[in-house]
Structure 1
Amino acid sequence: MCGLRFSAQRYHVYEVTSPKLLEIFPQERLNQEIFCSGFYGSKKGLFDEERRNWLIEQLRAGEAEIVYPMAVDQPLLNYMMMRSNFSIYNLALQLPKEERTGCCVTSPHFQALDNILYDQGKRLTYLHYIGLSSSLFTRLCSGENLDFPYRDIFLHYRYL
C-alpha cells in the first residue's frame, strides 16, 4: 500500500531521531495522521495568514528540527495539518481492510479493464504517480511519445 502507514515511512515526513518529535505529536497521532501528499485536498483558505504566521513562529522556535528536510511538500503539509489540529482523513488507514488497495504507479500487478485499474479484483481508489516528474506529464501532453506505467489510462482520463 502506498499510503504512509508504516513506521519506516515516517522517516520521509519527520526526523524520527529528534527528541522534540514526541513532545509535539504523541505516538498515536504519528501512527494515525501522517498522510501522503500526493493525494491531498483541503478547502480554500484553510491556512489563513494568522495560521501561517503562527506555524512559522513554531518552526522558528525550534520545531523545524522535526521536519524531514530531504522532501519537498510532504513534510510541510503533514506538519501544518497536524500542528494545526485539523481533521485528517487518510484513505490508506480509514477505508475498511476489504476495500483497501495499492495505489503506487510502480506496482506492476494492477489489472486494467475498461480504463479502470484493479488490485486483486478491487477497484483502485486512486493511482499515485509517485516518483514521476511533473515534466514527464508536460512533455507527454505536448505530444512526445513517452512510456511509463499505466500511461494509456492516464491519457484516457486526461483527454476525456
Structure 2
Amino acid sequence: MTDGIYTFANDVVYDQLVALLNSIEVNEGRELPVCIIPYNNQLDKIRAEVAKRNHVTLFDNQESIAFWENFSTQAWNTHDRAQKIWAERGLSSPYRLAMHRKLCSINGPFDKFVYFDADTLLMGPLDAVYEKLDQYDWVTNDFQYKSDIKYIFDRPEGQLYQVFDPQYVKSHIFCAGWFASKRGIFTPEILDHILHNLKMGESDSMALFGPDQSLLNYMVLRSNISYYNFAYHNLEQATGSHWSSTFDVVDNVLYDKGQKITYIHFMSISAGKFTQLCGGEDVKIPYQDVFLHYRYLKSPSDRPQLKPPSWLVQVQRNLKNAIAKISDRVISKIRKIKRGLS
C-alpha cells in the first residue's frame, strides 16, 4: 500500500507550494511522496521546483484530468439555476472548472492519500489520518459543520432535508481544501448514481460559487461511503486548522491548547497577499512569520525584511479597489435592467 499526499497548484501559488513542501519534509516524520495536480499549464516555476525534490512529482495523466473535468461539467449542466446565474454574470460554465481537477486524487498513484490545498502548512505527522483510512473511506478534520451551510449547499434547509437527513448532513460536510481518502473510492457505478440523482433535481441544492467544494460534498453524501471527522467525532481532542483561530507558536509549530495542530489552512487569503509578503511587504497575514519560516527554510538568506507598503502603493490600491466596486455596482444595475426587459 502506498501512502501519499496530493496538492493543487500553478505558478501563481508558487510561494505557498514551496512552504507546504518544506513543512511536509520537516514535520511529517517520514518521507511521503507528494504529487502536485496542475491547476493549468502555468507551471514553469513548479516544474523547476519538482526537479529539485526527489519525492515530489507533477501529475500528468491527461486522461484523468479530462475525465474529471467532463464529469464535473455533466454534474453542473444539471443545475439550471447555476447555468442561468453564471451566464447573467458573464462567468464560464461550469464556473471555476479547473478547481474540480482535485478529483484526480481519486484515481492517482496513491492507495491512501491526504489532499492539501497549496495554501496549507503541515504541522505534524499524519499517521493518525492514515490509520483512520484503514477503517473509513473518507476522513476530515473540519469544523465546517459549525458554520453557515450556505457555503456548501444553498438550498433552503427544509428542501435540503427532504434529500438528506439533517444530522447526516451536519456530520458529513467539510471544506474541500483538506481531506483524506483512498484510490478508486468513487466507482463507475457510484458516479453514474450521482449523475442520475443530480439529473432528477438534487443538483439544485449545490452552492454556485464554491462549485468544487459543493460537488465534492454532494458526492460524499450521496455515495454513502464511510466517513470520519476528527473535529466532529472526537471533539475533545480535535485541534483547529483555520488561520483565524488563536494558536500558540513554539519553534514554528502551532499548538491549540497545548496540542500540536495537524495543519493550518490560509483559506480565503488571496495569492496576491502572499506575493506581497514574499516581496517584503508586511501585509499582516496571521502567522506570517511561521509561513515565511517554511517558505525560506532552504534559502534563509532570501527571506525578506518586512516593511509596510509605501504611501503611493496604498493610494494605488485604494483607487483600484474603489474603481472595482463602482464597476461591480454598474454591472449589477445593468443586469437588473436587462432582467426587467426580458
TM-score range, shorter chain: 0.7 to 0.9
Q: 1:42 to 1:145 in 2, by over 3 A?
A: farther
Out of 81, 89, 93, the residue aligned to residue 220 of structure 2 is 81
Shift of 1:130: 1.4
Out of 173, 179, 186, the residue aligned to residue 47 of structure 1 is 186
Whether 2:265 is the aligned partner of 1:125: answer: no
Match of 1:27 in 2: 166
The 8 Å contact of residues 254 and 261 in structure 2, kept in 1 or not, is answered as yes
Q: 1:112 to 1:71 in 2, by over 3 A?
A: same
Shift of 1:102: 2.5
Deviations 1:44-75 (A, max 9, x none): 22223332232122112100111122213221
Out of 83, 103, 106, the residue aligned to residue 241 of structure 2 is 103
Shift of 1:155: 4.2
In the aligned structure 2, how far is the partner of 1:117 from the partner of 1:4? 20
Q: List runs of 5+ in structure 2 lacking aligned partners.
A: 1-140, 299-342
Shift of 1:15: 2.4
The 8 Å contact of residues 67 and 79 in structure 1, kept in 2 or not, is answered as yes
Q: 1:154 to 1:50 in 2, by over 3 A?
A: farther
Match of 1:4 in 2: 144
Which has a greater percent of helix?
2
TM-score, normalization by structure 1:
0.78
Match of 1:13 in 2: 152
Deviations 1:111-135 (A, max 9, x none): 2111111223332232121112356
Shift of 1:93: 0.7
The 8 Å contact of residues 243 and 287 in structure 2, kept in 1 or not, is answered as yes
Whether 2:205 is the aligned partner of 1:66: answer: yes
> Secondary structure of 1:35's match?
coil
Structure 2 counterpart of 1:28, which letter? Q
In the aligned structure 2, how far is the partner of 1:135 from the partner of 1:88? 35
In the aligned structure 1, how far is the partner of 2:271 from the partner of 2:193? 31
> Secondary structure of 1:132's match?
coil
Out of 240, 244, 249, the residue aligned to residue 112 of structure 1 is 249
Sequence identity percentage:
33
Match of 1:36 in 2: 175
In the aligned structure 1, how far is the partner of 2:170 from the partner of 2:142? 15
Shift of 1:151: 2.9
Match of 1:90 in 2: 229
TM-score, normalization by structure 2:
0.40
Shift of 1:154: 3.0
Larger Rg, first or second structure (1 or 2): 2
Structure 2 counterpart of 1:45, which letter? G
The 8 Å contact of residues 142 and 232 in structure 2, kept in 1 or not, is answered as no
Which has a greater percent of strand?
2
Which stretch of structure 1 is more off in the superposition, 121-130 or 24-33? 121-130
Which gives a bigger RCO, structure 1 or 2 (Cα 8 Å, sep 6+)?
A: 1
